[in-house]
Amino acid sequence: MDGGRHHGVVTSLPWIVVAGFGVGLLYGLFGVGSAFATPVLALLGVPGLAAVASPLPALLPGSASGGLAYARRGNFDAPVARRTLIGALPACIVGSVASRWVGGPWLLVLSGAVLLLVGGRVIMSTRSDAQPGALAHALRRNRGAVVLIGAVIGFVAGLLANGGGFLLVPTFLLGLGLTMPEATATSLVVVTALSVPAVVTHAVLGDIDWGVAVPFAAGLVPATALAAVVASRLDVGHLRMAFGVALIAVGGWFLYHQLHVLHLV
């Protein structure tokens, strides 16, 4: 296979592999995969729902390999992951079905908007390197609150056809007081579990282009494992700032691009 044709646009197979590798590096460093994958694939010519859903199969091995690398160093909060999944798993299925009603173009707009908002919040948190406050610790101990947070994130993850890492990491980091390595590792574990119902639902709905999904996974999986090892040697404060800057840069540009495509700007 030399490439796939999507609505008159030829997407080169090698570029899909390269895109997967680049997204895998970001995924292993920041625990965020599909949030970057969708804009990249859309720019390569993959249309709406296919660009949103096709990265999903790569999240299973990608998040599993990255999460394992972090977990081996003890950077994993099992109670937070378990409570998050109680709420997120059923909500993810509901969100996946709802994505058909929203439509591909607006899902791309939502992907860009969420990246921009989350990136700004993460950068704001770098103004102070103080320890998590009492509210974050209390929220982390409140089982019902964590389950509810998981349900909200699970719905959005299903709607935007990704594991929800772009919301999980900042929520764990800022809302529950986990460290950056803990937030990334716990997110990767949750994303692994959430990817299963999301992949099944979107595959049944016919949203996944497997000619894109397979080569994308071939680049993403090894890059995720590599980046997870590298991340353990980086400064946590600088890593958080880089995470926020990357989210704002990609989200802001992509949001403008999609609004322009829809003739709204």
- Reading the block at residue 15, the tokens are 């570029």
Q: Which of 20-24, 83-87, 141-145, 240-244 has the lowest mean pLDDT?
A: 240-244
Alpha-carbon span 229 to 69, nearest angstrom: 7
180 neighbors 236 (Cβ within 8 angstroms): yes
* pLDDT at site 2: 42
Q: What's the mean pLDDT in 166-170?
A: 78
* pLDDT at site 10: 43
27 neighbors 220 (Cβ within 8 angstroms): yes
Dihedral sign, Cα of residue 213, residue 196, residue 38, residue 217: negative
Is pLDDT at 160 greater than 90 in this prediction? Answer: no
pLDDT in tens, 239-250: 777 778 877 887
* pLDDT at site 167: 79
Rounded to the nearest integer, the mean pLDDT of the chain is 79
Examine residue 1 and state whether it is found in any structural domain, yes or no: no
Counting every residue written for the chain, the total comes to 265
Examine residue 49 and state whether it is found in any structural domain, yes or no: yes
Q: Which helix (H) or strand (E) holds 79?
A: helix 78-102
Q: What is the pLDDT confidence band of residue 33, given thresholds at 50, 70 and 90?
A: low
Examine residue 155 and state whether it is found in any structural domain, yes or no: yes
- Share above pLDDT 90 across residues of the chain, in percent, rounded to a whole number: 15
Examine residue 216 and state whether it is found in any structural domain, yes or no: yes
* pLDDT at site 185: 83
Examine residue 149 and state whether it is found in any structural domain, yes or no: yes
* pLDDT at site 31: 62
Q: What's the mean pLDDT in 185-196?
A: 84
pTM: 0.69
Q: What is the pLDDT confidence band of residue 76, given thresholds at 50, 70 and 90?
A: confident
Q: Tell me which residue has tokens 């096709």.
A: 54
Examine residue 123 and state whether it is found in any structural domain, yes or no: yes
* SS3 state at 6: strand
3-state secondary structure 131-177: CCCHHHHHHHHCHHHHHHHHHHHHHHHHHCCCCCHHHHHHHHHHHCC
Q: How crowded is residue 95: how many other Cβ atoms within 10 Å of its Cβ?
A: 26
Is pLDDT at 207 greater than 70 in this prediction? Answer: yes
Examine residue 222 and state whether it is found in any structural domain, yes or no: yes
140 neighbors 92 (Cβ within 8 angstroms): no
**What are the DSSP E strand ranges found in the chain?**
3-6, 9-12
- CA 260 from chain center: how many Å? 24
pLDDT in tens, 85-134: 999 999 988 988 887 787 667 777 887 787 787 777 667 665 545 455 66
Q: Which of 209, 208, 207, 216 is nearest to 13 (CA)?
A: 216
* SS3 state at 103: coil
Q: Which of 200, 173, 168, 165 is nearest to 83 (CA)?
A: 168
Alpha-carbon span 236 to 180, nearest angstrom: 6
Alpha-carbon span 106 to 114, nearest angstrom: 12
Q: What is the pLDDT confidence band of residue 20, given thresholds at 50, 70 and 90?
A: very high
* SS3 state at 5: strand
Alpha-carbon span 261 to 265, nearest angstrom: 8
Question: What angle, 0 to 180 degrees and rounded to 10, lies between the N-to-C axes of helices 104-125 and 236-261?
Answer: 150
What total number of domains does the chain contain? 1
Give the domain extent around 114: 7-261
Which are the contacts of 222, defined by CB distance < 8 A and separation ≥ 6?
Answer: 21, 24, 65
* pLDDT at site 8: 37
* pLDDT at site 150: 94
- Reading the block at residue 21, the tokens are 């590798």
* pLDDT at site 244: 80
Examine residue 2 and state whether it is found in any structural domain, yes or no: no
